């Protein structure tokens, strides 16, 4: 039996989690900008999702929040307190806990797909949004620690900033099993609408080259302009794949039929589950985050879809899901989870995790979760995470001290002081 399994590395929600309305084109971020956030509840919700997946018998990994407020970023922009009106957003950027959405940390090509037989990870430059562009150097440090075993992993710096790259959120991998050689699907957008296209085709092509992928097993697919205009700022808001199954909204891709045909040409076993707009409109798909789901192969072999509660509670989505479960489709279980604090910033279950197919024994164990370690994390979060943050509090020294201390307590509890 292969030792390669899918490991989901969830980002622990950082103690500075707040709603600053920083992401143009991300409707939830815009809608909740200025609201009071609840970092402790947010981190406990995230941990609850990790525990949920652990209890399903899956291997669960974790990644730590990055250092915030980012004084280096503020210094490089010449920003000091007190800030004026024009500097407020940049200051908020330096406080953002956005690294929790680890689907944007990197693009991952597992060992069966690469020329040198190692799992390759390229950190995402995230240049389209200022608050996210500061993440990648710290992300690379963390990935180099978690995946330090160079016999099995290669971690690349981000591709040059001239080409925006948002990582695994715009990348899907299909195959007969996780351990088999895969078809890697890179989804990019084209600019032109009211909202930015955050993934550039050339960034995706660079990642494929860096990872040593077989061009015959790569697809570069354009995201539909309507999807971006409707608020699908990443492909993972309108489509998700797992092994032989693609679960997608009918308006996800610029050329849906061409995309499905190209997938079937490489993977004849592919099962493509298309949700028609007549059942769930693009607007409802984006409001409910139906597709921002974790499509998982459960230990028994059947597939489960971990969706946000918002999708489960949405009338049209629920009707469609009930019909799907009653049919004989490949997705056998629907598993709703509560990640409402993250959802209010546009981050559903799929945003919160980075998928890595690897042998868990080759990963630094400090980045793997067990029930016992989850108990430890829960205590640290309950004790050290701020209960709430009003965006007007950003910049306060007392808040900065508690955010820094909370992250420090987490790193010590995990034995990851090296990231301090």
Question: Is the previous residue joined to 236 through a cis bond, with omega within 30 degrees of 0?
Answer: no
Binding span for ligand SUG by CB under 6 A among 99-107, 220-228, 246-254, 375-383:
99-107
Q: 3-state class of 55 per DSSP? A: helix
Is residue 288 at the binding interface for ligand SUG, with CB under 6 A as the rule? no
**What is the DSSP annotation of 127-167?**
TTSHHHHTSHHHHHHHHHHHT--TTTEEEEPPPPTTS---G
Is residue 21 at the binding interface for ligand SUG, with CB under 6 A as the rule? yes
Whose Cβ is closer to ligand SUG: residue 102's or residue 402's?
102
Whose Cβ is closer to ligand SUG: residue 169's or residue 307's?
169
Residues β-bridged to residue 242: 245
Is residue 347 at the binding interface for ligand SUG, with CB under 6 A as the rule? yes
Whose Cβ is closer to ligand SUG: residue 21's or residue 175's?
21
Instruction: Give catalytic status of residue 171 as yes or no.
Output: no
Binding mask 185-224 for ligand SUG (x = CB under 6 A): ----------------------------------------
**What is the DSSP annotation of 323-358?**
HHHHTT-SEEEEEEE--HHHHTTT--TTTTEEEEEE
Is residue 15 at the binding interface for ligand SUG, with CB under 6 A as the rule? no
Is residue 104 at the binding interface for ligand SUG, with CB under 6 A as the rule? yes
371-384 vs 397-414: helix axis angle to the nearest 10?
160
Binding span for ligand SUG by CB under 6 A among 95-103, 188-196, 246-254, 298-306:
95-103
Is residue 249 at the binding interface for ligand SUG, with CB under 6 A as the rule? no
- Helix H or strand E segment including 121: strand 119-123
Whose Cβ is closer to ligand SUG: residue 23's or residue 223's?
23
- Helix H or strand E segment including 123: strand 119-123
Whose Cβ is closer to ligand SUG: residue 234's or residue 355's?
234
Is residue 351 at the binding interface for ligand SUG, with CB under 6 A as the rule? yes
Contacts for 198 with CB less than 8 Å, ≥ 6 apart: 25, 128, 129, 164, 166, 170, 189, 233, 234
39-55 vs 371-384: helix axis angle to the nearest 10?
170
- d(C-alpha 362, C-alpha 152), whole Å: 7
Of the listed 64, 119, 218, 351, which one is catalytic? 351
Binding span for ligand SUG by CB under 6 A among 75-83, 149-157, 243-251, 346-354:
346-354
Residue 20: CB minimum distance to ligand SUG, A: 4
Binding span for ligand SUG by CB under 6 A among 93-101, 106-114, 271-279, 308-316:
93-101
Residue 419: CB minimum distance to ligand SUG, A: 21
C-alpha 346: how far from chain center: 11
Whose Cβ is closer to ligand SUG: residue 179's or residue 354's?
354
Binding span for ligand SUG by CB under 6 A among 17-25, 275-283, 331-339, 354-362:
17-25
Binding mask 356-385 for ligand SUG (x = CB under 6 A): ------------------------------
Is residue 134 at the binding interface for ligand SUG, with CB under 6 A as the rule? no
Is residue 236 at the binding interface for ligand SUG, with CB under 6 A as the rule? yes
Of the listed 131, 171, 200, 234, which one is catalytic? 234
- d(C-alpha 5, C-alpha 27), whole Å: 34
Instruction: Give catalytic status of residue 351 as yes or no.
Output: yes
Of the listed 166, 184, 243, 310, which one is catalytic? 166
Residue 245 vs residues 50, 250, 272: alpha-carbon distances, Å: 23, 15, 6
C-alpha 245: how far from chain center: 19
By the 8 A CB rule, do 12 and 43 touch?
yes
Closest CA to 292 of 232, 237, 354: 237
Instruction: Give catalytic status of residue 32 as yes or no.
Output: no
Q: Which residues are near ligand SUG by CB under 6 A?
A: 19-23, 26, 29, 33, 96, 98, 101, 103-104, 129, 132, 169, 233-234, 236-237, 345-347, 351
Catalytic residues: 166, 234, 351
């Amino acid at each position: 039996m292969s030792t390669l399994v899918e490991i989901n590395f969830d980002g622990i929600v950082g103690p500075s989690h707040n709603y600053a309305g920083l992401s143009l084109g991300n409707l939830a971020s815009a809608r909740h900008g200025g609201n009071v956030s609840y970092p402790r509840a947010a981190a406990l919700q995230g941990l609850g999702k990790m525990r949920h997946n652990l209890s399903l018998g899956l291997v669960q990994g974790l990644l730590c929040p990055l250092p915030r407020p980012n004084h280096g970023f503020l210094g490089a922009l010449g920003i000091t307190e007190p800030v004026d009106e024009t500097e407020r957003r940049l200051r908020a950027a330096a406080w953002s806990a956005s690294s929790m959405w680890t689907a944007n940390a990197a693009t991952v090509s597992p060992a069966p797909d690469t020329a040198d037989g190692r799992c390759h990870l390229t950190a995402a430059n995230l240049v389209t949004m200022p608050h996210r562009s500061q993440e990648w150097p710290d992300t690379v440090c963390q990935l180099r620690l978690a995946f330090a075993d160079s016999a099995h992993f290669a971690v690349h710096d981000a591709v040059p900033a001239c080409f925006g790259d948002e990582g695994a959120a715009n990348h899907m991998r299909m195959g007969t099993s996780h351990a088999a050689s895969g078809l890697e699907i890179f989804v990019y957008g084209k600019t032109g609408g009211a909202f930015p296209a955050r993934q550039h085709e050339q960034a995706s092509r660079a990642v494929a080259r860096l990872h040593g992928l077989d061009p015959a097993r790569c697809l570069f697919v354009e995201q539909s302009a309507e999807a971006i205009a409707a608020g699908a700022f990443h492909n993972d808001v309108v489509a998700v794949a797992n092994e032989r199954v693609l679960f997608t909204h009918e308006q996800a891709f610029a050329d849906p039929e061409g995309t499905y045909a190209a997938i079937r040409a490489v993977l004849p076993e592919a099962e493509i589950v298309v949700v028609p707009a007549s059942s769930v409109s693009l607007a409802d798909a984006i409001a409910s985050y139906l597709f921002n789901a974790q499509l998982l192969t459960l230990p028994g072999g059947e597939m489960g879809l971990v969706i946000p509660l918002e999708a489960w509670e949405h009338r049209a989505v629920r009707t469609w899901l009930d019909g799907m479960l009653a049919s004989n489709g490949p997705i056998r279980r629907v598993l709703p989870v509560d990640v409402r604090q993250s959802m209010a910033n546009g981050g559903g279950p799929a945003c919160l995790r980075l998928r890595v197919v690897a042998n868990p024994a080759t990963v630094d164990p400090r980045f793997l979760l067990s029930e016992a370690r989850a108990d430890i994390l829960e205590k640290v979060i309950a004790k050290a995470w701020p209960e709430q943050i009003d965006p007007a509090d950003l910049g306060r020294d007392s808040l900065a001290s508690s955010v820094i201390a909370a992250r420090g307590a987490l790193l010590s509890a995990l034995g990851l002081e090296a990231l301090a």
